[in-house]
Amino acid sequence: MATKKIKPISNGTRNMIVSDFSTITTTSPEKSLLIKINPKSGRNNQGRITVENRRSGSKKFYRLIDFKRSKDGIKAKVVSIEYDPNRTARIALLNYVDGTKTYILAPIGLNVGDILESGLTAEIRVGNSLPLSAIPVGTIIHNIEMQPGRGAQLVRSAGVSAQLMAKENDYAVIKLSSGELRLIRIECRATIGTVSNTEHRNIKIGKAGKNFHRGKRPNVRGSAKNPCDHPHGGGEGKAPIGRPAPLSATGVIALGYKTRNKKKPSEKYIISRKK
């Protein structure tokens, strides 16, 4: 996976860096695994805008990803590596021996023709999914469950990975890419390897029109709005904020204010927080 710089033939392409899509093997997705996405445009069921700076974007289909990997003991062949418009990572199409087809997140090093498996007896190799109890300490993993059987919720973005640090009784200690140490039950599953598309962080949009197609509308400064629309609005000319700290449009402190709920049930499983 690499990036390429566009030839500067216009102001929009002068600083544009895009993916070269060299790892993509096909451009036609599996139709049985597609779901139509209805455009929301940041509006509720009454048609009123409840989320700012959002539009419907270009038409696209959602790819059904198998985050559970519950087909234990059944081997699957990697048919293709594909682009997914709904996520930063690449996805891989698996064709199981029994005829079932599923999408998974493609890790680095996964190639077309590889044979994957899941379950307690699966081999420790890139792309295989196993319970944490069967994974050796020190292994690089991704696609981690937080509750057994619920499906993976952690470490799913492009280029990220976690490490299995230790096992204590019924829990495993996982070091996330943010530096956070967290306890997760050893019955939960994880996939071996690092998520693909590591160069995603180097991509530069280049022009506002590209973000517009992705469903992002222009963001107006709060100080340029009216007092009824934003706490920073109003006044004559370039008036100061007039408040101890900058606020969001809904009145929440914008800088340095922690919004995580301290009463969240998963709070007790955090050993040390991210840096």
Could you give the CA distance from residue 13 to residue 33 in angstroms, rounded to a whole number? 34
Are the beta carbons of 139 and 107 closer than 8 angstroms?
no
Q: Where are the domains of the chain?
A: 3-201, 225-270
Could you give the CA distance from residue 61 to residue 39 in angstroms, rounded to a whole number? 11
Query: If we measure between CA atoms, which residue out of 247, 172, 201, 228 comes closest to residue 88?
Result: 201
Q: What is the pLDDT of residue 176?
A: 95
Written as one string, the DSSP assignment of 59-113 is: --EEE-B-SS---TT--EEEEEEE--TTSSS-EEEEEETTS-EEEEEPBTT--TT
Could you give the CA distance from residue 159 to residue 142 in angstroms, rounded to a whole number? 10
Residue 213 DSSP code = H
Whether 3-201 shares its CATH topology with 225-270 is answered no
Report CA torsion sign: 19, 20, 25, 30.
Answer: positive
Question: Structure pTM?
Answer: 0.88
> What is the residue-level pLDDT of the chain in tens, covering all 275 positions?
588 999 999 998 998 999 988 889 999 999 999 999 888 888 888 988 888 899 888 899 999 999 999 999 999 999 999 999 999 999 999 999 999 999 999 999 999 999 999 999 999 999 999 999 999 999 999 999 999 999 999 999 999 999 999 999 999 999 999 999 999 999 999 999 999 999 999 999 999 999 999 999 999 999 999 999 999 999 998 999 988 899 998 899 999 888 889 899 888 999 998 87
Query: If we measure between CA atoms, which residue out of 252, 119, 227, 23 comes closest to residue 260?
Result: 252
Write the single-letter amino acid at 132. L
DSSP SS3 for 221:
coil
Q: Which fold has domain 3-201?
A: OB fold (Dihydrolipoamide Acetyltransferase, E2P) (2.40.50)
Helical segments of the chain, H only:
208-213
Write the single-letter amino acid at 241. I
Residue 118 DSSP code = B
Are the beta carbons of 131 and 184 closer than 8 angstroms?
no
Q: Which fold has domain 225-270?
A: Ribosomal protein L2; domain 3 (4.10.950)
> Which residue is associated with the tokens 């040390």?
272
